[in-house]
Amino acid sequence: MSAKVKFYMFPGSNSVYTGRLMLEHKGIEYKTVKLPPGPHAFIMLGLGFETMGVPALKVDGRRVQGTRSISRFLDQMVPGARPLFPADPGLRKQVEDAERWGEEFQNATRRIFYVGAKRDRKAFASVMTPERALPMRVFLRVGRPLILRLASGAHRASDDAVREDLELLPERLDQIDRWIEQGLLNGPRLNAADFQIAPNISALLRCDDLARLITGRPAAALARRVAPDYPGHLGPVFPRELLAGQQPGTDPPGSGGALESALRAAGVDDARIETIVSRVETIVRPSG
Ligand SMILES: N[C@@H](CCC(=O)N[C@@H](CS)C(=O)NCC(=O)O)C(=O)O
| 215-225 residue pLDDT tens | 999 999 999 99
Instruction: Among 7, 8, 10, 15, name the best residue to mutate to test ligand 1's pocket (greatest count of ligand atoms within 8 A of Cβ).
Output: 15
* Domain extent for 146: 89-284
Instruction: Among 9, 44, 45, 52, name the best residue to mutate to test ligand 1's pocket (greatest count of ligand atoms within 8 A of Cβ).
Output: 52
Instruction: Among 10, 13, 107, 150, name the best residue to mutate to test ligand 1's pocket (greatest count of ligand atoms within 8 A of Cβ).
Output: 13
Ligand 1 atom, smallest distance to 16 CA: 10
Please identify, among 50, 77, 104, the residue that sits at the C-terminal boundary of a domain.
Answer: 77
φ, ψ of residue 82 to 5 degrees: the values are 40, 65
Name which residue sits closest to atom 8 of ligand 1, judged by CA.
Answer: 53
User: What distance in Å separates the CA atoms of residue 57 and residue 198, rounded to the nearest whole number?
Assistant: 21
Name which residue sits closest to atom 17 of ligand 1, judged by CA.
Answer: 52
240 with 133, same domain? Answer: yes
Q: What is the pLDDT of residue 252?
A: 40
150 with 279, same domain? Answer: yes
User: What distance in Å separates the CA atoms of residue 201 and residue 216, rounded to the nearest whole number?
Assistant: 12
Spell out which residues line ligand 1, taking CB within 6 angstroms. 13-15, 41, 52-55, 66-67, 103, 106, 110, 154
- Total of domains in the chain: 2
User: What distance in Å separates the CA atoms of residue 282 and residue 30, rounded to the nearest whole number?
Assistant: 46
208 alpha carbon – ligand 1 mean position (Å): 24
Low-confidence ranges of the chain (pLDDT < 70): 1, 247-258, 278, 281-288
Question: What confidence tens digit (pLDDT) does each residue in 23-76 have?
Answer: 999 999 999 999 999 999 999 999 999 999 999 999 999 999 999 999 999 999
Q: CB under 8 Å to 134, separation ≥6 — which residues?
A: none
Domain assignment present for 168: yes
Please identify, among 48, 77, 106, the residue that sits at the C-terminal boundary of a domain.
Answer: 77
Under DSSP, the state recorded for 286 is P
